């Protein structure tokens, strides 16, 4: 049996656009229609059903919950801030607090207001100032009840999918745009970090804990060739650590938020830059189980990733870790095996203080639509009926006792 510390944060994560429904002022809304993708539509109707959802969260023994605030609801038109939307999020946070659940709030989780995207989005020089105005409004409104903040969710995923691969809005395919967004997001975090701390000081509230949620993969060399090993080291830096190195140098991380899902198996056949940076093993050289989207399931990679963070000497919260799969028994096996690796890394000196499963409930999985099922709770999208999965009940035992068998 494995025992986690008493004060460990246990819970699950969601993001506004994926669960709330009806986010008509966000840039994904028109894009889904144009791109012929599943429409997020009503999603899980969490905007209305949050009280009922949080009753489930409480019944599952969670003591923490990560959610995001939707910028496009708060500021539907430039400079026009909605008190009504802000009040909604205040109510949401209170609904968590009144159930004894620690809220952890993300300010940017992939979506932007349409007006923001239409005027250049994250490539435009004004983006940082615009983001900060929104952060200022939200932080002041929630400071009294929120301690944990994630400024930006997965900057590396956002700028690569939206500005390099052209897979997400605005579907750019430009190295230079991606580089601009990379720089702007870093700057946005640094400035937002300072702003949030300044506001808490001004309001004389106990210090906040501010970070980003960094997407990290277990980057593993498939073969022992110099090319593959060299590419592995380069990708480890560019994909996983570069942003963290920079933000820790700026002293703007109070903890590290880690999102971990999968392995990235590096197999490089020649020295072309594209191969060095992107080529992966296509030959199933190191077979492993896959989730419903074909991602490798690689629990030992979580320990690997956590150990790579030791050098920063900061607390770590697993802000997302999850599996989309139809066979729920595999979900429990996934949680169990990943938690064992969290514990292993803790034994080797990584100060992990929380684990949030992705996701609380099935939801809108971006360009993949509603088919992938990540949830601890099953959603019937026709009736909006919630059904707690068996894996959620087993995870609840861990959340209640801190013990894993």
Structure-token pair, residue 26:
């966000």
Q: Is 153 in the site for ligand BGC (CB under 6 A)?
A: yes
Tally of CA atoms within 13 A in the half-sphere of 262 that contains its CB: 14
Residue ranges in 44-83 that form contacts with ligand BGC under rule CB under 6 A: none
* CB-nearer residue toward ligand BGC: 193 or 358: 358
Rounded distance between C-alpha atoms, residue 136 and residue 140, angstroms:
6
- Name residues contacting ligand BGC, limited to 328-387 (CB under 6 A): 358, 365
> Total number of residues binding ligand BGC (CB under 6 A)?
10
Q: 384: burial class by Cβ within 10 Å (0-12, 13-18, 19+)?
A: middle
Interface with ligand BGC, residue 160, by CB under 6 A? no
CA distances from 169 to 82, 127, 285, 359 (A): 24, 16, 34, 23
Shortest separation between residue 313's beta carbon and ligand BGC, angstroms = 25
Give CA–CA dist 21/48, Å, rounded.
9
Figure out which of the listed residues 2, 132, 157, 205 binds ligand BGC, where binding follows CB under 6 A. Answer: 157
Q: Are strands 9-13 and 2-3 parallel, antiparallel or unpaired?
A: unpaired
- Smallest separation (angstroms) from ligand BGC to the CB of 34: 21
| Residue recorded with tokens 């929380």 | 354
Q: Residue 404: helix, strand or coil by DSSP?
A: strand
Q: What are phi and psi of 220, to 5 degrees?
A: -130, 135
- The stretch among 36-44, 134-142, 151-159, 299-307 that binds ligand BGC (CB under 6 A) is 151-159
The first and second tokens of residue 313, run together, are 């000497």
Question: Could you tell me if 353 and 255 are in contact, meaning their C-beta atoms sit under 8 angstroms apart?
Answer: yes
Q: What is the token pair recorded at 45? A: 């109707």
Is the Cβ–Cβ distance between 149 and 209 less than 8 Å? yes
Minimum CB distance to ligand BGC, residue 359 (Å): 7
Give the residue from 197, 198, 217, 199 showing the smallest Cα distance to 208: 197
Query: x/- contact string, 165-204, with ligand BGC (CB under 6 A)?
Result: ----------------------------------------
* Binding segment (CB under 6 A) for ligand BGC, from list 139-147, 152-160, 167-175, 240-248: 152-160
Comparing CB distances to ligand BGC, the nearer of 228 and 259 is 259
> C-beta of 393: minimal distance to ligand BGC in Å?
22
CB 284 within 8 A of CB 275: no
Tell the smallest beta-carbon distance from residue 325 to ligand BGC (Å): 12
d(CA 308, CA 316): 12
> Shortest gap between Cβ of 295 and ligand BGC (angstroms)?
8
Determine, following the binding rule CB under 6 A, whether residue 15 of this chain makes contact with ligand BGC: yes
Cβ pair 298, 218 in contact under 8 A: yes
> Which residue number, 154 or 328, has a Cβ lying nearer to ligand BGC?
154
Q: CB of residue 403 vs ligand BGC: minimum separation in angstroms?
A: 28
> At its nearest, how many Å lie between ligand BGC and the CB of residue 154?
5
Q: Does 16 contact ligand BGC by CB under 6 A? A: no
**By the rule CB under 6 A, 32 interacts with ligand BGC:** no
Tell which one of 215, 263, 338, 394 touches ligand BGC (CB under 6 A): 215
Element (H, E) at 265: strand 256-266
CB of 215: closest distance to ligand BGC in angstroms?
A: 6
Q: CA 142, CA 156: separation in Å to the nearest integer? A: 27
Rounded-to-integer distance, Cα 399 and Cα 176, Å:
45
Nearest to 358 by CA among 311, 324, 400: 324
Among residue numbers 273 through 332, which ones bind ligand BGC (CB under 6 A)? 320
Q: Which stretch binds ligand BGC (CB under 6 A): 150-158, 178-186, 225-233, 247-255?
A: 150-158
Residues in region 224-263 near ligand BGC by CB under 6 A: 259
Contacts with ligand BGC by CB under 6 A lie at: 15, 18, 153-154, 157, 215, 259, 320, 358, 365
């Amino acid at each position: 049996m494995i025992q986690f510390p008493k004060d460990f944060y246990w819970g699950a994560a969601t993001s506004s656009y994926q669960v709330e429904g009806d986010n008509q002022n966000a840039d994904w809304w028109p894009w889904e229609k144009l791109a012929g993708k599943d429409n997020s539509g009503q999603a899980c109707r969490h905007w209305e059903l949050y009280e009922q959802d949080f009753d489930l969260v409480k019944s599952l023994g969670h003591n923490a919950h990560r959610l995001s605030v939707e910028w496009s609801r708060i500021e539907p038109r430039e400079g026009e801030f909605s008190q009504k939307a802000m009040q909604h999020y205040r109510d949401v946070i209170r609904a968590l607090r009144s159930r004894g659940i620690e809220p952890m709030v993300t300010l940017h989780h992939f979506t932007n207001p349409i007006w923001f995207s239409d005027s250049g989005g994250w490539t435009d020089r004004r983006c940082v100032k615009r983001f900060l105005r929104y952060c200022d409004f939200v932080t002041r409104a929630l400071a009294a009840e929120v301690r944990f903040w994630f400024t930006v969710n997965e900057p590396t995923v956002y700028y690569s999918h939206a500005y390099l691969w052209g897979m997400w809005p605005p579907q750019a395919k430009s190295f230079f745009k991606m580089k601009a967004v990379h720089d702007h997001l870093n700057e946005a975090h640094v400035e937002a970090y300072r702003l949030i701390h300044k506001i808490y000081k001004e309001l004389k509230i106990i210090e906040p804990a501010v970070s980003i949620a960094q997407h990290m993969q277990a980057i593993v060399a498939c073969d022992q060739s110099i090319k593959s090993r060299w590419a592995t080291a380069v990708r480890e830096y560019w994909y996983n650590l570069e942003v963290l190195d920079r933000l820790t140098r700026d002293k703007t991380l109070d903890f590290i938020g880690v999102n971990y899902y999968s392995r990235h198996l590096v197999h490089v056949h020649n020295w072309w830059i594209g191969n060095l940076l992107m080529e992966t093993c296509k030959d199933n050289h190191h077979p492993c189980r896959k989730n419903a989207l074909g991602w490798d399931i690689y629990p030992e990679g979580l320990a690997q990733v956590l150990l790579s963070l030791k050098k920063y000497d900061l607390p770590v919260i697993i802000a997302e870790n999850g599996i989309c799969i139809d066979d729920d028994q595999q979900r429990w096996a996934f949680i169990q095996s990943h938690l064992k690796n969290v514990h292993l890394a803790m034994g080797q000196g990584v100060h992990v203080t929380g684990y949030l499963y992705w996701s609380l409930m099935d939801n809108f999985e971006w360009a993949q639509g509603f088919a992938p099922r990540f949830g601890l709770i099953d959603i019937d999208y026709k009736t909006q009926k919630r059904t707690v999965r068996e894996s959620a009940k087993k995870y609840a035992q861990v959340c209640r006792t801190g013990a894993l068998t």
